[in-house]
């Protein structure tokens, strides 16, 4: 984390807590969205793996590039969604995308330079990062798909197998996670018991 990141996380978590105070079902009214890569050789994209240690472990490793795989865009929400959360990936940050979101969801999108500023470094707060991607990758890679088509089919079947009750509980746990972030003064909290 950078020096200002905890302050930005804290500001966002306070906003989120205020929204939950107004509507206890607020977490279910957010469209939580993200993208993950699934590779044929079961390597995990480091973008979706964040070390939440209190200090930088300075671990460096080799990385294969241009491996065949599938990019998966996912979103979690209830039917009564009101807010859209998007990660700050460069294609999502383009001014045309932000202008579209400003026009389509005025004051109701969370993102980098969005109506509600998306703080950096907070995979510990979004259900897709703290639950979905790890669960899906464990299931998909356990089955060792041999082709891109099989990989895609395995991802689809694995997604469909996740029970609605599980997804509902995971989205609700985002409230607890935001509270933990507040208790940690905007810092990471996964390492705290």
CA angle in degrees (0–180, nearest 5) for 98-32-94: 20
Given a contact cutoff of 8 angstroms between Cβ atoms, the answer to whether 93 and 110 are in contact is no
Tell me, yes or no, whether 188 lies in a domain: no
pLDDT digits (tens, 9 = 90+) for 57-76: 555 455 556 778 888 888 88
Q: Which of 19, 51, 50, 36 is nearest to 174 (CA)?
A: 19
Number of domains present in the structure of the chain? 1
Given a contact cutoff of 8 angstroms between Cβ atoms, the answer to whether 37 and 137 are in contact is no
CB-based burial of residue 75 (10 Å sphere; 0-12 exposed, 13-18 middle, 19+ buried)?
A: middle
How many alpha carbons lie under 13 Å from residue 126 in its C-beta half-sphere?
31
Residue bearing the bigger pLDDT, 119 or 182 = 182
pTM above 0.85, yes or no: no
Tell me, yes or no, whether 162 lies in a domain: yes
Tell me, yes or no, whether 193 lies in a domain: no
State residue 72 phi and psi, 5-degree precision: -120, 120
Give the pLDDT mean for 13-41.
Answer: 91
How many alpha carbons lie under 13 Å from residue 39 in its C-beta half-sphere?
12
Task: Give the tokens for residue 142.
Answer: 């356990």
Q: How far apart are CA 104 and CA 109, in angstroms?
A: 9
What residues have CB less than 8 Å from 91, skipping those under 6 apart?
97
Give the pLDDT mean for 45-57.
Answer: 50
Tell me, yes or no, whether 59 lies in a domain: no
Q: What is the CATH number of the domain that holds 83?
A: 3.30.420.10
pLDDT digits (tens, 9 = 90+) for 71-127: 888 888 876 668 888 876 667 778 898 899 899 889 888 888 888 888 766 778 888
The proportion of the chain whose per-residue pLDDT surpasses 70, expressed as a percent, equals: 80
Domain, as residue range, for 171:
5-53+65-183
């Amino acid at each position: 984390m950078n020096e200002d990141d905890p302050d930005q996380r804290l500001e966002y978590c306070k906003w989120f807590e205020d929204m939950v105070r107004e509507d206890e079902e607020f977490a279910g009214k957010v469209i939580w969205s993200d993208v993950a890569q699934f590779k044929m050789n079961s390597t995990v994209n480091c973008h979706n793996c964040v070390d939440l240690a209190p200090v930088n472990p300075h671990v460096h490793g080799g990385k294969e590039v241009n491996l065949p795989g599938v990019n998966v865009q996912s979103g979690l929400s209830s039917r009564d969604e009101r807010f859209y959360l998007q990660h700050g990936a460069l294609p999502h940050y383009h001014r045309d995308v932000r202008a579209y979101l400003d026009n389509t969801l005025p004051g109701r999108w969370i993102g980098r330079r969005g109506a509600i500023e998306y703080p950096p470094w907070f995979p510990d707060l979004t259900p897709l990062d703290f639950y979905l991607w790890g669960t899906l990758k464990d299931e998909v890679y356990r089955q060792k798909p041999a082709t891109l088509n099989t990989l895609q089919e395995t991802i689809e079947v694995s997604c469909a197998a996740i029970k609605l009750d599980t997804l509902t509980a995971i989205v609700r746990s985002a409230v607890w996670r935001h509270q933990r972030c507040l208790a940690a003064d905007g810092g990471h909290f996964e390492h705290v018991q």
